[in-house]
Structure 1
Amino acid sequence: MMGIITAERAGHSLPTSPVEPAVLGTPGLVVLGITALAVSLCDAEIVPPAAGALLLLTLCGGLGQLLVAARDWRRGNIFSATVFAAYGLFWLSLIPLVILPRAGQGASPQAQALSAYLAIWGIFSIVLFRSFAKNNRSMRVMFGFLASFLLLAAAGAATQSNPMQTTSGYVGILFGIDAVVVGFVRNRSEKGQGHQGDTYSIGRKGR
């Protein structure tokens, strides 16, 4: 304690590890995008819905995001851990609510209940969209697609409108592609920053 007070009085800045606000990890973005693509391609009726394949992809996607959330939590990135844990559980919840009933296993939920559930997740995505309103345009666009996808899906469930559900599928495809692209771009950016840091440290040692 005395050492900290002495350092502050001497005018020296204390060593800190700044955390960039609202940072999402690359693996989680890619898994989130691929899972959304799998579900949305079936909703848009571009790919014939195969219950077994969709069940497996959704299960792997949800569990994958939970694993990413656990990794980010251990690294101290609480924001990323919260986001990916939430959406990982969301995809897993779609298995008994939507995927299994489509395969004839279990009863489908009431249209109003499913619509309200999807709308709540759409509102949650709007909150995340607002969190990126000032510092990250690519993330803002991505969560804008996600919020639109979920709200359109909620409207389609409430009205039982097939065109509305198809439209939500196409918006979900846009979101999935965008999430995967943002994830890979972020990965390349992180690698580039790492190489620059290595070059700088070598230069310092050579002096």
Structure 2
Amino acid sequence: MSTQYANPAPLGLCGFGMTTILLNIHNAGFFDISAVILAMGLCYGGLAQVLVGLMEFRRGNTFGTLAFTSYGLFWWSLVLIWVLPVLGLTEASPHSFVGWYLLLWGIFTLCLFFGTLKGAFIGKFVFGSLTTLFFLLAYKDFTGNASVGIFAGYVGIICGASAIYEAIGLTLNEKYGREVIPMGEPKQASVQVEAVLV
């Protein structure tokens, strides 16, 4: 008898989306880095997504395993980049080196974006906006352009909100057994073969 597992993706998307919004409220210039962002990064953005990645592995979803586990560990690594120098365990990283860190994440996310192209529009939007966010933040750290960082903050808020939208859409559409939240699913092309007699 086969076991039916729940879809863990909405949990991972909410963890990603809510933490991304909080961080980018900071990037947009509204608040300094604080325990609010660090705690969300460790718990909901970090731990929850790593657990979701392991659940996606159990379901045989390679894309979900790679994406959720990687972004969960991204949050943990980002928190450590901030906290380790404060604890006196390492020197603070130069902004240009953080730029390389963000650039690598941007390239990684761009590669995953190509994996969304056959899926719903909302998935493309989440990964497309996240790719843009990483590249903007990398550019800000390479150049020191604060205006780009503020603009990136607004892009990040939109990105995080789109991930939450996808999570709620997946959850409610499953609950109601029909599409109550539009996700932009691709239309199934119907192919008709006609025999032409000459």
Provide the aligned length of Structure 1 versus Structure 2: 170
2:130 aligned with 1:146: yes
Give TM-score scaled by structure 2 length.
Answer: 0.79
Q: In structure 2, how many angstroms separate the alpha carbons of the residues matched to 1:99 and 1:155?
A: 23
Question: What is residue 93 of structure 2 aligned with on the other side?
Answer: 109
- Describe the SS at the equivalent of 1:173: helix
Name the CA shift for 1:107/1:43 in 2 (closer, same or farther; >3 Å).
Answer: farther
User: After TM superposition, what 4+ stretches of structure 1 lie above 6 angstroms from structure 2?
Assistant: none
Question: What is residue 10 of structure 1 aligned with on the other side?
Answer: none
> Contact 1:51/1:100 (CA < 8 Å) preserved in 2?
no
Question: What is residue 14 of structure 2 aligned with on the other side?
Answer: 30
Name the CA shift for 1:178/1:53 in 2 (closer, same or farther; >3 Å).
Answer: same
What is the Cα deviation at residue 153 of structure 1? 0.4
Question: What is residue 56 of structure 1 aligned with on the other side?
Answer: 39
What is the Cα deviation at residue 96 of structure 1? 2.1
What is the Cα deviation at residue 140 of structure 1? 0.5
Using the aligned pairs only, state the percent identity.
31
Question: What is residue 128 of structure 1 aligned with on the other side?
Answer: 112
Which of 54, 69, 72 aligns to 2:56? It is 72
What is the Cα deviation at residue 112 of structure 1? 2.1
What is the Cα deviation at residue 83 of structure 1? 0.7
Unaligned ranges ≥5, structure 1: 1-22, 195-207
- Give the letter for the 2:98 counterpart: L
Question: What is residue 78 of structure 2 aligned with on the other side?
Answer: 94
> Contact 1:44/1:165 (CA < 8 Å) preserved in 2?
yes
Deviations 1:1-43 (A, max 9, x none): xxxxxxxxxxxxxxxxxxxxxx981111111101111111111
> Contact 2:50/2:69 (CA < 8 Å) preserved in 1?
yes
2:173 aligned with 1:173: no
> Contact 2:8/2:55 (CA < 8 Å) preserved in 1?
no
Q: Radius of gyration: which is bigger?
A: 1
Q: In structure 1, how many angstroms separate the alpha carbons of the residues matched to 2:121 and 2:139?
A: 27
Unaligned ranges ≥5, structure 2: 1-6, 179-198
> Contact 1:40/1:173 (CA < 8 Å) preserved in 2?
yes
- Describe the SS at the equivalent of 1:107: coil
What is the Cα deviation at residue 184 of structure 1? 0.2
Choose between structure 1 and 2: higher helix proportion: 1
